[in-house]
Amino acid sequence: MLDQIVNSLKERKDLAGWTVRHIITRGAQVYAVPQQVEARRTVTGERYRIDVLRQTSGLDGNAAMGSGDATILPGGDISTSIEKAVLVASLVSNPVHTLPGPASIPDVQLIDTDLQSDSATVTMDAMDRIRTAASKNPDVGLTAAECFGETHTTHLVNSRGMDAEQEATEINIEFVLHSQRGETEVETFREMSARRVADLNIEDEISKRGRHTLDLFEATTAPSWQGPVVLRDDVLATFITSGILQTLGSAGSKYAKISPWEIGKSVFRSEVKGEPLTVWANRCIPFGTNSSRFDEEGVPAQRLPLVRENELVNFWASQRYADYLDFPATGAFGGVEIAPGTSPATALLAEPHAEIIQFSWFNPDTITGDFATEIRLGYLIQDGKRIPFRGGQLVGNYLDALANAHWSAETGFFGNYLGPHTIRLNDIKIAGLAG
């Protein structure tokens, strides 16, 4: 059917360009409640996504470009769908932009071969590992778990001669650990994503989260705190990848005048008191959850220097916005990579400090960078004690926080983030519930 669609598009003389993506998804899902499997599912899906460009004219009579799209299911009506996409493309008049041409596509590692060949068995195995690992801690029970394993195959063909395929696997798990003492109940909810099962470290994660769950019994109400706050591992990855670098570093945001960032200027609005920040938008991270060989337009993956020692060096740009702004087309953002710091992680843990273990949902304003987010579990570390607390909010601004931070020299890989595994935000506020 792909050939039929391509041939139909080739016959259209009124198009300035077109892209077709044939997308196939197959996977398995398993859901557990206490003592039993709640549901087992297999899922398949297949579709053809068409994007077309058509020359139009602007209000001033100058050449302009319109774009339209349509999705066809197997057996669907090709000519009607193409006509619909072309009609939509004729309605709008944007600056002229193009499609990516043929280019060398890097070989990015995206596949777990076991998951690719048998997602049902792999997801059941992952569920068994979760249940076995949880059963090792008699003080904590597993009350819910979900495992999703999927393989996505994409074949992209465009009018400029690009013809590329990629396949990627993905496993997503979540689990809930629960404990009860008298009338007091506590829980930890954790979700994890990876391209391959080996990156999930299920047993270690459940062991660690089991300890955190039990610490919740001892947790005090959150203190009011202004000072150093440490984030490590997955919670640091959550903080870093929360969307601000992606929004403000985007050519689309620059074009829409949402981003005040300028190439060659500091990305910070305040004086940098901590270590300099260097960031790559990296779609080549092996087994990165945001990695790909090529993106939705077909732009090949790259490791793009975004910020070098606090200064913006590039915007990431789709082909459309690259053409609008005369930037290089870099394609989708991918994962965040940050340069290692200079301090050993142990030095960043100097007392006193607070450490956040889990946010309720770190969801900053991606334009202003402001946040006020609830803390599910944290520790206050001072006077040789590590006291758990819960509730309260971490309050601040993402960019101001990074402008006064120290990063560990040691790095780690966390799916969509590659970089220092520890950060010390030197001066940030916890709006506490006590004190």
Partner 1 sequence: MTELKLPPDMAELRPVLGEIIAQKQKEAPHFTILLSSKQGLRITIDNREERVVEGAPSAGTVLSAFDGQTIYERAIGGFRRDEIQKTANELVREANFSDYTSPEESPRKGGFATVMQIDPAELSAQEKLDRCRELHRRVKGRDPRIVNTQVIYIESGEYSVFASPHADLAQRLQRLNLFLVIIVAGENGQIQYDYKSKSGGAGWEVLDFTDEEIQQLIDNAIALLGAERIEPGEYQIIAAPGVSGTICHESFGHGVETDMFLKQRARAAYFIDRTVGSSLVNIVDDPSTAGGYGSYFFDDEGRMSTPTQIVENGIFKRGITDLYSATALSIPRSANGRRQDYSRKAYARMSNTYFEAGTSTLNEMLAQVDQGVYLDKWSSGMEDPQGWGIQVTCHYGHEIKGGRVTDRIFAPIGISGYVPDVLQSITAVGKEWWLEAGNCGKGHKETVPVSSGGPHLLLKARLG
Q: Which of residues 363-392 bind partner 1 (CB under 8 A)?
A: 363, 365, 367-368, 370-374, 376, 390-392
Closest CA to 378 of 242, 233, 240, 231: 231
Strands 225-232 and 353-359: parallel
* Residue in this structure with the two tokens 């040691």, named with its chain if needed: 410
Give min distance, CB of 58 to partner 1, in A. 11
C-beta closer to partner 1: residue 169 or 302:
169
Residue 329 · residue 298 · CB < 8 Å: no
Give min distance, CB of 173 to partner 1, in A. 12
Q: Which member of 9, 15, 53, 70 binds partner 1 (CB under 8 A)?
A: 70
C-beta closer to partner 1: residue 198 or 256:
256
Residues of span 225-284 touching partner 1 by CB under 8 A: 255-260, 269
C-beta closer to partner 1: residue 146 or 275:
146
Distance of alpha carbon 374 from alpha carbon 394, whole angstroms? 7
Give min distance, CB of 281 to partner 1, in A. 21
Residue 171 · residue 196 · CB < 8 Å: yes
Strands 335-338 and 279-282: antiparallel
Q: Which member of 3, 361, 384, 435 binds partner 1 (CB under 8 A)?
A: 361
What DSSP character marks residue 273?
A: -
Length of the chain equals: 435
* Interface map 93-132 toward partner 1 (x if CB under 8 A): xxx-------------------------------------
Token output for 283: 């779609």
C-beta closer to partner 1: residue 11 or 262:
262
Distance of alpha carbon 66 from alpha carbon 46, whole angstroms? 27
Residues of span 174-233 touching partner 1 by CB under 8 A: 174, 176, 178, 185-187, 189, 191, 224
What DSSP character marks residue 243?
A: S
Q: Which member of 2, 63, 73, 198 binds partner 1 (CB under 8 A)?
A: 73
Residues of span 410-429 touching partner 1 by CB under 8 A: 429
Residues 6+ apart with CB under 8 A from 354: 223, 225, 227, 228, 229, 230, 378, 379, 380, 381, 430
C-beta closer to partner 1: residue 53 or 108:
53
Residues of span 320-359 touching partner 1 by CB under 8 A: none
Interface with partner 1 includes 39 (CB under 8 A)? yes
What is the amino acid identity at position 118? D
Give min distance, CB of 291 to partner 1, in A. 20
* Interface map 133-172 toward partner 1 (x if CB under 8 A): --------x-xx---------------------------x
Interface with partner 1 includes 47 (CB under 8 A)? yes
Please spell the DSSP secondary structure of 343-368, one letter per residue: B-HHHHTPSSEEEEEEES-----TTT
Tell me if residue 414 falls in helix, strand or coil. coil
Closest CA to 28 of 16, 40, 18, 39: 40
Residues 6+ apart with CB under 8 A from 208: none
Q: Which member of 10, 11, 14, 46 binds partner 1 (CB under 8 A)?
A: 46
Distance of alpha carbon 289 from alpha carbon 171, whole angstroms? 10
Q: Which stretch binds partner 1 (CB under 8 A): 64-72, 283-291, 306-314, 403-411?
A: 64-72
Q: Which member of 33, 198, 263, 350 binds partner 1 (CB under 8 A)?
A: 33
C-beta closer to partner 1: residue 61 or 75:
75
